[in-house]
Amino acid sequence: MVVVTIVVLGDIGRSPRMQYHTATLATQGYECQIVGYEGSKPIKEITDNKKITIKTLRDCPPFHNYVPRLIAYILKTLWQVITLLFCFMFMKRSHFILVQTPPAIPALAVCWLYCVMHNSIYVIDWHNYGFTNMAVTLGEQHKLVRISNWFEGYFGRKANFNFCVTKAMRKDLKQRWDITSTIVLYDRPFDSFSSTPLHFKHAFFKKLSKQYPVFATTTNSENSTVFTSCLPNGLIALKQSRPALLVSSTSWTEDEDFSILLSALKEYNSTVTELPNLICVITGKGPLKDYYNKLINDYNWKRVTIITPWLEPEDYPVMLGSADLGVCLHTSTSGLDLPMKVVDMFGCGLPVAAYKFQALSELVEDGKNGIVFTTSQELAEHLIEWFKDFPNDQERHNCFRKNIEQNFQNLRWHENWVQHAQPIFQCNFMDVIKKS
């Protein structure tokens, strides 16, 4: 049996694209080993599949607490080299290594070395660039940024095959580093991301109301939530007087400027126009979450309520499928990747307001399946226009949802993967190695 090792130098549970690769490879008959760090719970298609083995890496010690930043980075890199090589020693021999980048250092070099030693096929899946991520905090001229740029180009050219997430990235890989053999594999929603039936919404909101009172009615009725009610005949109905539901997912990092959404919500909160109350659910984990939670709690909200829960993998699609509009703050350090969160939203039939950057048009068509913005003022205007006359006037909303269904939901992750990625793994890998 052909063995494929998928390498994620990060939290496996927060790496959806690599989890989807793994799950699909297993359904196609390959034996899979996915390597990465523990943290969030992986999807059940990973944990429940006997053809998939999860190999966890030992977390890096907090060197940055004891030594200067540059030395800490060197020590972290050495730690990752050693732990990754050690992990490879106790795995089944792999015929294919599929590695995610970023992070590029040291994963690309270690995986290439393994492939040379074991005559395996080396495949890179480009999600973004590591050097552009570094440049956000260090500056473009920093030595580490320049080293990372060289590193990614050098080991990127060593790959037998490359996947990337946009046509713009494929073009840039060719121009920047002369990396060819690149296949554009667009993110597509996994089967778990679909529209949420009304009775599922009702049960979901009832469950959430036990932890978040904003979802409960003032009477705490067992048969209703702030959005839904159970009729005497047992059918579920949406309330005419319900608030609007806005949802966003963020990593709470510097490459997603949450202050844009916060400012837009303040504008919505203070507008004199008749608008529905708005419940804003912002999911995700990250270093800036506590900072923004304090800003949220210190503000005098009147018609807006913001909560920041962490949703389990099985609950997140239900939330997206229950919302009235999604917001994406992803700006892309390279301008060449696309946000997976928008793909998930489209999978659930949810229109999106997304921050505009270079490659976004490959996913979001302004005025058709979403709306774009570049400032908090523009986002505020979109929110006010979108929820004007809510929930009575749904014509525009339904038009967006129809476009999403017709132009996006027809091709899911599995079918797209079989069409574009499977030929690589069906090739005669010994011949490919001899020719490379």
Domain annotation covers residue 112:
yes
Supply the pTM of this predicted model. 0.89
Please give the pLDDT value at position 346: 95
> Are 141 and 109 part of one and the same domain?
yes
Band (124; pLDDT cuts 50, 70, 90): very high
Does residue 195 or residue 168 have the better pLDDT? 168
285 shares its domain with 430? no
Q: Is residue 170 part of a domain?
A: yes
Number of domains in the chain: 2
| Under 8 Å between Cβ of 51 and 22 | no
Cα–Cα distance measured from residue 203 to residue 44, given in angstroms and rounded to the nearest whole number? 21
At 255, is the pLDDT very low, low, confident or very high (cuts 50, 70, 90)? low
Cα of first residue to Cα of last residue in the chain, in angstroms, is 23
- Is 398 in the same domain as 417? no
Residue pair 162/152 in contact (Cβ under 8 Å)? The answer is no
Provide the sign of the torsion angle of the four alpha carbons 368, 326, 388, 263, taken in this order.
negative
382, part of any domain: yes
What is the band of 433 on the pLDDT scale with cuts at 50, 70, 90? very low
Flag whether 429 is in a domain.
Answer: yes
Instruction: Average the pLDDT over 344-355 and give the result.
Output: 95
Collapse the DSSP code of 51 into the 3-class scheme (helix H, G, I; strand E, B; otherwise coil) and give the result: coil
Give the mean model confidence (pLDDT) for residues 56-72: 92
390 close to 276: Cβ distance less than 8 angstroms: yes
Please tell me whether residues 28 and 164 are part of one structural domain: yes
Q: Does position 432 have pLDDT exceeding 60, yes or no?
A: no
What is the average pLDDT score of the chain? 92
The answer to whether residue 211 is domain-embedded is no
Q: Residue 223: inside a domain, yes or no?
A: no
Task: Judge if 169 and 249 occupy the same domain.
Answer: no
pLDDT on residue 220:
61
Rounded CA separation 366/62 (Å): 44
What CATH number does the domain containing 394 carry?
3.40.50.2000
Cβ of 416: how many Cβ atoms within 10 Å?
17
Q: Are residues 426 and 393 part of one domain?
A: no
Average pLDDT over residues 282-307: 91
pLDDT category of residue 243 using cuts at 50, 70 and 90: very high
Alpha carbon of residue 61 to chain centroid: 26
Q: Which residues pair with 395 in a beta bridge?
A: none
Domain with 266 in it = 244-407
In a domain, 184, yes or no: yes
- What whole-number distance in Å separates Cα of residue 341 and Cα of residue 320? 10
Residue corresponding to tokens 């995986």: 111
